[in-house]
Structure 1
C-alpha cells in the first residue's frame, strides 16, 4: 500500500475505537478492507459511496486517484464527522460529504451519478433500490459482498439492474450491476 493508504488505515484503526465506523477490530483487518477496496475502477465519472461509514470502499479509491468526482453519503452524523476528521488529517482536498438519510438528497442528486459503490450497507435489493435513484441510466452499482457471492438480475417498478462481472478480492467479492438504459 502507498504511504497515504497506510496513514488512512492507521487513522481508521485509531478512530474506530471512538465510534464504530467499521466492523474490523484489528489493524490487519482494517488493512485488508482498504486493500480489498482497491479494485480496477474507471478513472472518470461521478461516484457516490453509499453508506460509507469510515470511508470504505470510496476513500481508498479516491486516495489512489484524487481526480475522481467522489461523494460520500451516510446517515450517521458521528460517522461522517469521523470521516471528515480523517480527510482533514490526510490533508487532501475535500470530496463532497452528505450526512443524512439518502432520500433527503434525491431532489438534488437524482440521476446524477455514473457509479454508486457500497460495502456493508445491507441486502443487495435494499442497496440497489437506493442506488437506482442516484444513478444515471446506464450507470453502474459496484457492491462489495461476501466472498463467493453470486449476483442476479434485479427488477423493480421503473428500473432494472443486470448483473455483470464479479471481481474476487481477498475477503470479499465485488458485484457489478448495470442500470438498464432508459429505466429509472
Structure 2
C-alpha cells in the first residue's frame, strides 16, 4: 500500500516521508477493520484504498492552493477527501461534517488514533449548521465528494464559504450537464463558476473532475432551505 501511495504521490508532484506514509497505512487499516462492522466503503483492497480514496482525494492539491486554509468537508463519510488532505498538509485547519452519528464517531476515533487531534468532527446537517454564525461564511475552502447533484451541493455548501473562498466539488468527468444545471444555484448563492479541473486518478485510467466555484457575494438570507424543500424544488 505504501509503495502504491508513494508512486501516486510522485505522479501528483507530491512526496511524503515514512511518518506520513505510516499514517496512511494506519488510516487504511483502521478503515478496513471498522468496515467489517460498519458500512464505510465498498473498496476493501488496501492498494485500491490508496488509489481510489487517498490519491483521488490528494488530487485536490493540483486543483487549488490548500495550505494555511480553514477547510470544511461536507458529507465526509469515512473522511474523504478532507482527512487525507490534512495528513499531507498539517497547516490545513480541518472540520469534518457528516449527518450520520456512527460515521462521526468513527472519524473522531480515527483522528485520535492517528494523532491528529486538532481536526474537528461534527455530527449535523449542513442545511442547519450553515445558518449558525459560528459557521456561516467562515471557511476558506469547502470540499465535498458526496454523491448529491451539484445544484443541491451548492445550496448545502456555498453558505459555509467566505466571500473570496472556494467550493471544490469532486465529480465524475462527464458532468457537463450537471454543471450547466447548477448555474442558477451558483448565481443565487453568490458563486462564480471557474474552469473545472480534470484529472486521472493516479495508478488508474479513471477520469474525475473538480468543479471549482468561487464565492463572490454573500449567500442571501433564507438559504439553505430545509432539505425537504431543496429536494422538492432544487435551484
What TM-score do the two structures reach when normalised by structure 2? 0.71
1:182 alignment partner in structure 2: 217
Structure 2 Cα separation of the partners of residues 101 and 45 of structure 1: 22
Once the two structures are superposed, the pairs formed by residues 126-145 of structure 1 within 5 Å of their partners are: 126-145=152-171
Of structures 1 and 2, the larger Rg is shown by: 2
Q: Is the 2:75–2:98 Cα contact (8 Å) retained in structure 1?
A: yes
Q: CA deviation at 1:26?
A: 3.0
Identify the range of structure 1 (15-24 vs 148-157) with the bigger mean alpha-carbon deviation: 148-157
**TM-score (norm. length: structure 1):** 0.89
1:31 aligned partner: 50
Structure 1 pair 17–57 and aligned structure 2 pair: CA distance change class (3 A): same
| Larger strand fraction of residues | 1
Deviation at 1:50, TM superposition (A): 0.4
Q: Which runs of 5+ in 2 are unaligned?
A: 6-20, 220-235
Number of the residue aligned with 2:224: none
Cα RMSD, aligned residues only: 1.9
1:1-184 equivalent positions in 2, closer than 5 A: 1=5, 2-32=21-51, 33-39=53-59, 40=61, 41-106=65-130, 107=132, 108-150=134-176, 151-152=179-180, 154-156=183-185, 157-170=188-201, 171=206, 172-179=208-215, 181-184=216-219
Higher mean C-alpha deviation, range 147-156 or range 169-178:
147-156
Which protein is richer in helix relative to its size?
2
What is residue 15 of structure 2 aligned with on the other side? none
Would the alpha carbon gap of residues 67 and 158 (structure 1) be closer, same or farther in structure 2, given more than 3 Å must change? closer
